[in-house]
Amino acid sequence: MRRTITGFSNPTVKFLRSLREKKHRRREGKFLAEGLRLLTDARACGILPEQLVMASGRPPHPLLDELERAVVASGGEVIEMDEDILAKVTGKDNPQAVAGVFAEFDTRLAGIDRHAAPIWLVAQALRDPGNLGTMLRTGDAVGAGGLILIDDCADPFSVEAVRASMGAVFTQRIGTARWDEFIPWLRSGPGQLVAASLRDPTDYRQAAYAAPCFLLIGNESQGLPETYEAECDLRVTIPMRGRADSLNAAVAGAVLAYEALARLEG
């Protein structure tokens, strides 16, 4: 199905704009991804948008043509609108020429196969969507199974997090749970829980990692609660040689993930 929207007051424009807010995403079970690269990555993973939104008069592009044909063939909808209307949808003065509406993924722990990868990233109370997206991107880079979000984290389906993931939101499994749900799930099968910590830690280069390894990173400003760290199998630290007392949460996750992967593969 194809159609063209010419007015700002069109109900579809209001619906698309609403997906920028978490409460509306949750209500609709949909999220918005912007840019041809992200949508092409999604298609490569076998995931197509339910609605493909494009700027009228955009320059032709073979990848966009292929994407459009695939969406139509799958029963999705292709919508064209003026660039200024699309800017209203995305909230950006210079929007990408294309965006897609996707169904949110199942984030229940029950759907996660812990044996699918040797490494999993786990973040507790991660508040910055840019950090969240970067951790998804890191997970994709190291071949992790995905990212499990504990307690009150930023929304992985926000426009900011999806953009920061550089397409990894479509390659990485995403789980969400409270701590008291996560621990029983983890202990119901194999899995080593490793915390980035300053409490009686082991140097991250000397630690004995074991697969499947769940690398736990705490909140950007407060770190992990002490009671959470006490339930971990291993606590590790990354030495700081300068004046900074810690790394950015997403950077710490990347450093630990590459080290753990090297040790597991070595």
d(CA 125, CA 221): 10
Q: Which residue range(s) make up the domain with 31?
A: 2-103
116 in the same domain as 37: no
188 in the same domain as 142: yes
* Per-residue model confidence as pLDDT tens digits over 187-214: 999 999 999 988 888 999 999 999 999 9
* Per-residue model confidence as pLDDT tens digits over 54-63: 988 878 889 9
As a whole number, the mean pLDDT across the chain is 92
- Residue 58: its pLDDT value, please? 79
254 in the same domain as 177: yes
- Residue 131: its pLDDT value, please? 94
175 in the same domain as 211: yes
Domain closes at, from 76, 103, 130: 103
pTM of the model: 0.92
201 in the same domain as 129: yes
- Residue 220: its pLDDT value, please? 82
- Residue 107: its pLDDT value, please? 97
- Residue 197: its pLDDT value, please? 87
116 in the same domain as 57: no
- Residue 94: its pLDDT value, please? 64
- Residue 95: its pLDDT value, please? 60
What CATH number did the domain enclosing 154 receive?
3.40.1280.10
246 in the same domain as 164: yes
- Residue 201: its pLDDT value, please? 86
Domain closes at, from 75, 103, 131: 103
224 in the same domain as 143: yes
- Residue 45: its pLDDT value, please? 95
143 in the same domain as 65: no
99 in the same domain as 118: no
Domain closes at, from 53, 77, 103: 103
Whether 38 and 162 have beta carbons less than 8 Å apart is answered as: yes
241 in the same domain as 115: yes
What CATH number did the domain enclosing 16 receive?
3.30.1330.30
Split into its structural domains, the chain has a count of: 2
- Residue 132: its pLDDT value, please? 97
Low-confidence spans in the chain with pLDDT less than 50: none
118 in the same domain as 250: yes
